[in-house]
Amino acid sequence: MLRDPNLVPLSRQHQHALALCVRIHRAALATAQELKAWQAEIEQHVEQEIQYHFAAEEAHVFPLARRYPELHGLVEELLEEHAKLRSSFVEAKARTLDAPRLRKFADMLSMHIRKEERQLFESMQQRVSEEEMRSLGELIDRSLGAAPQVCITPTEQTLKSGGT
């Protein structure tokens, strides 16, 4: 199903996070320096995009979805996943994720995003009125407007320096 334009900003951010997950899975993660660099990149994503993304979902998307009894369980699952992901973000910031846990993080984030896209967003598009979606889009735009407008890309220097 084509994504409702009011959800596109969140879907675009999902694409950014999925790209990070793919890159983590393709990385060797063979040295402590590499692990630190990837954790620094996760920290950067959280600071510049994910924290605003989660806030928009929790303040606007999830409450609207909760109006539909059939989506209550899904919203609760997504909130639990946000909590688990936040724990991983804290570990990344502390640079305490080893290679297996870093890959597990990438799996968890990827599965979470796919659940939001394939289950939550699809279900909402079928249930929520155009007017409510338009209002939701305005709220999302305002929430995401607080995020820094930067392009998050790793550099060779970042990867070589271990993100320091």
Digit-coded pLDDT (tens) for 119-146: 999 999 999 999 999 999 999 999 998 7
pLDDT of residue 145: 86
More confident residue, 93 or 149: 93
Angle CA 117–145–140, to nearest 5: 40
Give the pLDDT band (50/70/90) at residue 161. Answer: low
Predicted confidence at residue 102, as pLDDT, reads 97
pTM comes to 0.88
pLDDT of 89 reads 98
Sign of CA dihedral 125, 126, 132, 134: positive
Residues with Cβ within 8 Å of residue 148, at least 6 apart in sequence: 48
Please answer whether residues 71 and 135 qualify as being in contact, where contact means their C-beta atoms are separated by less than 8 angstroms.
Answer: no
CATH topology classification for 8-145: Four Helix Bundle (Hemerythrin (Met), subunit A) (1.20.120)
pLDDT digits (tens, 9 = 90+) for 32-77: 999 999 999 999 999 999 999 999 999 999 999 999 999 999 999 9
State the average pLDDT over residues 12-31: 96
Residue 159 has pLDDT above 80, yes or no: no
